[in-house]
A and B are shown apart, each in its own frame.
Chain A
Amino acid sequence: MKILIFACKWCGLIGADGAGKKRIQLPTQFRVIPVECAALVEPDAVIRAFASGMTGVAVLGCHLGGCRFNHANHAAIKRLELLKTLLDATGIGGKRLLISFGTAHEDHQYAEVVKTFFDELEAMPSTAAWIS
């Protein structure tokens, strides 16, 4: 089980940082990639992450309307929703992609999001059929 988290520098990353400082117990199989804005996460990058064997990918951004770059995350949410449709159609499952905006600014919130996502992924079948 491997999870990749794209965390926006202004929200998700602050939450991740705080969770670390507070020593909140979290599952360990995830890596965080800081990005300037959630809109910089191309859907292609998410696909690439799945192709390189990630079980799940999370994109954490600021809440809608609270983006540093005006409406950038509005466009991001639309693009990623479209990707979810494609993932569903091919059977990978849109649930493997977590799009969460404005839910991980605080350390305990971040921990909660990551834990829930882990539990969800644990119940899902493996993607081994794709990666071989």
Chain B
Amino acid sequence: MLEKIKNIARTILSEKQADGVLGLIKGQWDIIQPHIFESPVEVDALVIEPKWLLAKMAMTVLRSSREGYRLAVVVRGCDERALTELVKRNQIEKERLVTLGIACTAEQAQACICDRPYPQKLDCGEAVAGVDTLSVESVKELLAGDGPERMEKWANILKRCIKCYGCRNSCPICVCVPCKLEDQVWVETGVIPAEVLSYHLIRALHLSDTCVACGACQEACPVNIPLMALQMSMREMLRETYGYEAGLDPDRKSPILYDLCKEPAAGQALPDWVNSLRKDDES
């Protein structure tokens, strides 16, 4: 699998399909780090393990490089979805991006609680089935119990927060400038632990329809807050009602940006009077 991906990378570079390949390099003293390969000779040092999210890095590189610079990125499933979301949000120009998809193994999917551990454009590796996110024990435990019980559980977990903003900074899709979480109006600054409700729920809600379930926030968290579990129920809701999953279809915008007539919920019959204002645009 590694050889195959190296060959593809070499072809891309020699045929000038892209000016650089962003991937991981095993460099001096066996340190693994992200690197942009710009000549086919360098590619020998390319590695694909461990999982390293490159989407945000790709965005930074593309923004700071010269116009017309094309970048190929070695992506996993989550990375590809994140890149698609970034393209949808006009953070990356689609024409300047090439992806090289690799699939994750079943164990990795288990560890990440990933429901789609393969990219849509798969270049090497075998796609394995993902896990059903809401039936994993650790998630079930967090979402179990009735109202007050669950509230106490979550309050205790979220009170561990030291407000390092790691979840926001590591998230490939958190790109807003300015960020609401730094605004005194929304979240009181200089207070630790963060105001649990406003800080965490505002962050979770802003990502509700864009979260690609890569788990970067959770990995970055120094106090092990299971942040993914917050997103899962919302992702499930979007999938069930609108059949929408973030990062899959580059042409479909999030259903919550639209009205009920354009993106109706599954099985929803709208009364006629809802549609009355739209008569002229349909004819």
Query: What is A's interface to B at a CB cutoff of 8 Å?
Result: 43-44, 47-48, 50-51, 64-66, 70-71, 74-75, 77-79, 81-83, 85-93, 124-125, 127, 129-131
Contacts and interface: CB of A to CB of B under 8 A. Distances in A.
B224 interface: no
B234 A89 contact: yes
Interface string B114-148: 00000000000000000000000000000101011
Interface residues of B, number: 45
Contacts of B197: 47, 50-51, 130-131
Contact of A91 (B151, B206, B257): B151
A1 B274 CA distance: 35
A78 B186 CA distance: 22
- The 7 A-B residue pairs with the shortest CB-CB distance in the complex, in nearest-first order: A91-B150, A91-B151, A74-B259, A71-B259, A51-B197, A89-B233, A65-B274
Interface in B223-267: 229-230, 232-234, 237-238, 255-261
A82 B230 contact: no
B213 to A, nearest CB: 15
Contacts of A92: 147, 151
20 contacts: A64-B260, A64-B270, A65-B271, A65-B276, A71-B259, A71-B277, A74-B260, A77-B260, A78-B258, A82-B238, A83-B205, A86-B205, A86-B233, A89-B233, A91-B149, A91-B153, A92-B151, A93-B147, A127-B151, A130-B151
